[in-house]
């Protein structure tokens, strides 16, 4: 069984926001919620400025699952971290625990009142029946059930954002690092999410900045 993972290659990202648009369009994400966003590190610093695509990384040991008081999170057999919106109480604990700032909360009423949490699903839907209207309405399109990869990764024009089988992604990244030499040898967020850098990528990845169906 493949272990699904994301990898954002900062040496390739051109900050086009195509991944953000693809996610919103494919999943009809609620207004005010960004399941995926592009972040610029060292903004304005000549030679050090880089951009990365950030969303839920579907961590091996997901901190959101550990802190949720109602256990609304679950992990699929291929490692995708999903949640049940019918159980979510909008407490926000997952937001504070996540090193990637992935959980999003649409404003459901008065100022400061959170609605049901929303986040990247790796285009794997939710606990409802695969490809059902109920699943799409709550979680967006279940592309994995259709035999496809996440829309954000498929739409990335420079292939800076990779999503899919973690072993395949690691092989692709290792080949890139070998061609580039030492430049860009660290995979942003990989170490924080999965506990170790891609095989052959050289060195541990830097920590991320602070803010299923079985």
Cα dihedral: 126, 111, 211, 52 (round 10):
60
Return the number of other C-beta atoms located less than 10 Å from residue 133's C-beta. Answer: 9
Predicted TM-score (pTM) of the model is 0.85
Q: How far is the CA of 134 from the CAs of 18, 41, 121, 163, in angstroms?
A: 27, 38, 15, 25
What one-character DSSP code corresponds to residue 169?
A: H
Residues of the chain whose pLDDT is less than 70?
1, 107-113, 182-186, 196-214
**70-114 confidence digits (pLDDT tens):** 999 999 999 999 999 999 998 999 999 999 999 998 865 655 567
Which domains does the chain show, CATH number per domain?
A: 4-194 (3.30.70.20)
Beta bridge partners of 118: 104
């Amino acid at each position: 069984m493949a272990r699904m993972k994301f990898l954002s290659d900062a040496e390739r990202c051109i900050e086009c926001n195509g991944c953000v648009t693809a996610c919103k369009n494919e999943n009809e994400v609620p207004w005010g919620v960004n399941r995926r966003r592009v972040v610029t590190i060292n903004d304005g610093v000549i030679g050090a400025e880089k951009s990365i695509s950030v969303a839920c990384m579907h961590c091996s040991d997901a901190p959101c699952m550990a802190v949720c008081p109602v256990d609304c999170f679950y992990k699929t057999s291929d490692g995708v971290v999903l949640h049940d919106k019918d159980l979510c109480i909008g407490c926000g604990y997952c937001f504070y625990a996540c090193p990637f700032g992935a959980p999003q909360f649409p404003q459901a009423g008065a100022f400061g009142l959170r609605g049901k949490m929303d986040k990247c699903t790796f285009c794997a839907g939710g606990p409802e029946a695969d490809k059902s209207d109920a699943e799409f309405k709550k979680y967006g399109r279940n592309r994995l059930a259709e035999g496809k990869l996440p829309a954000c990764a498929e739409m990335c024009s420079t292939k800076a954002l990779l999503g899919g089988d973690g072993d395949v992604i690691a092989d692709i990244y290792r080949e890139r690092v070998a061609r580039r030499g030492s430049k860009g040898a660290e995979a942003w967020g990989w170490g924080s999410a999965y506990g170790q850098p891609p095989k052959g990528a050289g060195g541990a990845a830097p920590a991320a900045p602070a803010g299923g169906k079985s």
